[in-house]
A and B are shown apart, each in its own frame.
Chain A
Amino acid sequence: MQLLASFVCGLVFGAGLLISGMTDPQKVLGFLDLFGAWDATLAFVMAGAVAVAATGFAIARQRAAPAFSVRFLWPERHDIDAPLVAGAVLFGIGWGLVGICPGPALVNLAGLSLPIVVFVAAMIAGMFGHEFRRRRATAPPRSIANTPLPSRADG
């Protein structure tokens, strides 16, 4: 049931991205371009998404456990640390360059157009690059500072 639920959630998420227009990088760039012909649509997408998600999360907080799993895995971190800031800066630059972020990249992959295939391949390489760096930083043979593994809880 967990698998089916995850698939359906991915499907609904993808449908939402398609209907909202957020799979079109030109529409996203139109929002990010404050000094051009500004397209405010993305703000309405965020408003709709946050309103419904917040309602669902409020219902979840009232429950003891999710329907098909033993417990809720709420993100536990609250600190604003350097990797969070630096990561957000790098992501913002990449997002601003072409107007594609990870969700729409995967939805667009279904069309198999060359730019999207290149983007997704590079995105996965970038994720691997970070994983490689994390492993080197956290698992040296004789480490003095015992850095904890970074949480992957936020999403």
Chain B
Amino acid sequence: MHNFTPISGFAGGALIGLAAALLMLLTGRIAGVTGINGGLLQADTTDRSWRLAFIAGLIAAPLIAALCGAPLPQPVMNAPLVVIAIAGLLVGFGTRMGNGCTSGHGVCGFARLSGRSIAATCIFMLTATVTVAILRHGLGG
């Protein structure tokens, strides 16, 4: 476990939880990135402005960090672009179909002890784990 960083992980996680708690306490909404983002794409959505504000905050976080000297995020993604595109399609379609992702189902759902969200989280964790196992150890591994 050479990359294991439990302290910064727990601290960053606490901030994510704080953001979810504050969004509920201040605006009464669930901090689910899929729902917030997906709602923007629906023709019948009437509350676009707070969604845009939240997403602007997400994107502003690394920009403000860059002003303080941190590098802009340039994640290492080794997969070919076509695989990245397929993954993006699956993530976009799947999260909307399942009504949530790691934030809405994972963080907020677990915090509410929602059986529906806990089931969804277990399923996507399991299929993601199986996908990685096949890619890294199953095919030519």
Is A143 located at the chain interface by the 8 A CB criterion?
Answer: no
Contacts of A78-120 to chain B: CB distance below 8 A: 78-80, 83-103, 105-116, 118-120
Distance, CA A55 to CA B14, complexed state (A): 11
Distance, CA A14 to CA B79, complexed state (A): 24
Per-position binary interface string of chain B over residues 15-26, scored 1 when its CB falls under 8 Å from any chain A CB and 0 otherwise: 111111111111
Interface residues of A, count at CB 8 A: 126
Q: A18-B62, A100-B91, A122-B85 are in contact. Are A91 and B124 (CB under 8 A)?
A: yes
Describe A's contact surface by its main secondary structure: helix
Please tell me if the beta carbons of B73 and A107 are within 8 angstroms of each other in the complex: yes
Please tell me if the beta carbons of A11 and B115 are within 8 angstroms of each other in the complex: no
Per-position binary interface string of chain B over residues 70-83, scored 1 when its CB falls under 8 Å from any chain A CB and 0 otherwise: 10111111010101
B38 nearest in chain A by CB position: A127
A115 nearest in chain B by CB position: B77
Q: How large is the interface on B (under 10, 10 to 19, 20 to 34, 35 or more residues)?
A: 35 or more
Distance, CA A152 to CA B39, complexed state (A): 8
Please tell me if the beta carbons of A84 and B99 are within 8 angstroms of each other in the complex: yes
Q: What's the least CB distance linking B67 to chain A, in Å?
A: 12
Residues of B within 8 A of A60 (CB): 21, 24-25
Is B140 located at the chain interface by the 8 A CB criterion?
Answer: no
Distance, CA A72 to CA B73, complexed state (A): 34
Distance, CA A32 to CA B63, complexed state (A): 28
Interface on A for B, CB 8 Å cutoff?
A: 1-27, 29-30, 32-42, 44-57, 59-60, 63, 65-75, 77-80, 83-103, 105-116, 118-131, 135, 150-155
A-B CB contact pairs (8 Å), 19 listed: A3-B50, A6-B53, A11-B58, A14-B59, A22-B12, A32-B132, A40-B1, A44-B10, A48-B14, A48-B17, A52-B13, A54-B110, A72-B28, A78-B115, A91-B94, A100-B87, A107-B62, A119-B77, A126-B88
